[in-house]
Amino acid sequence: MVSLTADLSPLRPDRNLAMELVRATEAAAIRAVPFIGRGAKEAADGAAVDAMRAFLGTVAFQGRVVIGEGEKDNAPMLFNGEEVGTGTGPACDIAVDPIDGTSLTAAGRQNALSVIAVSDRGSMLDASSVFYMDKLVTGPAGVGVVDIRLPIGENIRKLAGALGKPVDEIVVSVLNRPRHEKLIQEIRDAGAGTRLMSDGDVAGGINAARHAARTDMCVGVGGSPEGIVTACAIKALGGHIQGRLWPRDDEERQRGIDAGLDMDKVYEADDLVRGDNTIFVATGVTDGQLVAGVRREGGYIYTESVVLRGASGTLRRIASEHLVSKWL
């Protein structure tokens, strides 16, 4: 296996790989633009997948999709097990979500992203057999302080103490779903505020872990793939993430057990993605707290992206101008 940070390797990609991956998320975001607010989430996702796949094919790495959206027979989705890249360079696990927030895109709402996460081959947990995961994400102040096994009120009080702020200034992000009605009430009963998300809990988790963010914690049941992707970003932010698999029925629970997953385990950050050798890139499709969405002005298309590298603990912002004529 070639490490993403192997100093002596002639194939060392370091930050260059991250920059190449940004081209793929930019392309996916740009291709989704005609569908924003048009109510056609499948069409938006299909256009983004096609663009992402085409650009990933030009990247000098041996990427294997561990977390995709579909299976091989359901093209054009990037499917689990698909090989991407030129076949040269480092061997990597890759998680893709050409649009995290297809419903957001279709409705023209905020926080839709195009996302890719990469780590060393064999380091990502494959939780694809269980669709949902219960997650808890905070910034660095929550490390060693909060725990998903504790009641939410206790975690809020502990985090408030670690941050040195009153409980009534704590803001918790939660997906706005019927399954979270009790959780939302418990957060409010504890004295904290809520920020209800209609979709897109990758952005919610990252925003909770960022320095000087508007939210302090992200909790609740969302997609298992999104949990792995978020963990890659949290490695660069020094934050806290835990997850517990949340099977919907006995059949799904058994599928997870058969796949080697532990239904009772609290998965820590290093269980979700081993090591700090991670790269996370995201380009805004629609405007949000993390990045601005794609916009077109005259003959130019403007995109904003973020690159987070676990090895260096950095978050970089990339603002790009694209000639419209090159995308026709």
- Annotated binding residue 26: no
- C-alpha 213/C-alpha 172 separation (Å) is 11
The DSSP annotation for 125-166 comes to ---TTS-EEEEEEE-GGGTTT--TTS-HHHHHHHHHHHHTS-
Query: What confidence score (pLDDT) does residue 14 get?
Result: 54
- Annotated binding residue 53: no
Tokens of 270: 């290093």
Axis crossing angle, helix 14-32 with helix 41-56, rounded to the nearest 10:
150
Digitized pLDDT (tens) for each residue of the chain, 328 residues in all:
334 444 434 344 456 798 899 999 999 999 999 999 999 889 999 999 999 999 999 999 999 999 886 543 344 568 888 899 999 989 999 999 999 988 999 999 999 999 999 999 999 999 989 999 999 999 999 999 999 999 999 999 999 999 999 999 999 999 999 999 999 999 999 999 999 998 888 999 999 999 888 899 999 999 998 999 999 999 999 999 999 999 999 999 999 999 999 999 999 999 999 999 999 999 999 999 899 999 999 999 999 999 999 999 999 999 999 999 988 7
pTM: 0.90
CATH fold, domain 132-272, is D-Maltodextrin-Binding Protein; domain 2 (3.40.190)
Options 3.40.50.2000, 3.40.190.10, 3.20.20.10, 3.30.540.10; CATH of 17-121+277-326: 3.30.540.10
- Annotated binding residue 201: yes
Task: Report whether the peptide linkage leading into residue 166 is cis, meaning its omega lies within 30 degrees of zero.
Answer: no
Neighbouring CB atoms inside 10 A of 2's CB total 17
Neighbouring CB atoms inside 10 A of 22's CB total 23
- C-alpha 115/C-alpha 96 separation (Å) is 6
Residues in Cβ contact with 31 at an 8 Å cutoff, skipping those fewer than 6 apart: 47, 48, 50, 51
Pairing relationship of beta strands 217-223 and 132-138 according to DSSP bridges: antiparallel
Cβ atoms 277, 119 nearer than 8 A: yes
Domain with CATH 3.30.540.10 in the chain: 17-121+277-326
Work out the angle at residue 200's Cα, subtended by the Cα atoms of residues 245 and 210, and round it to the nearest 5 degrees: 90
- Annotated binding residue 7: no
Buried residues in 48-66 as b, exposed as e (16+ CB within 10 A): bbbbbbebbeebebbbbbb
DSSP designation for 285 = S
- Annotated binding residue 14: no
Tokens of 294: 């794609």
- Annotated binding residue 31: no
Domain with CATH 3.40.190.90 in the chain: 132-272
- Annotated binding residue 179: yes
- Annotated binding residue 243: no
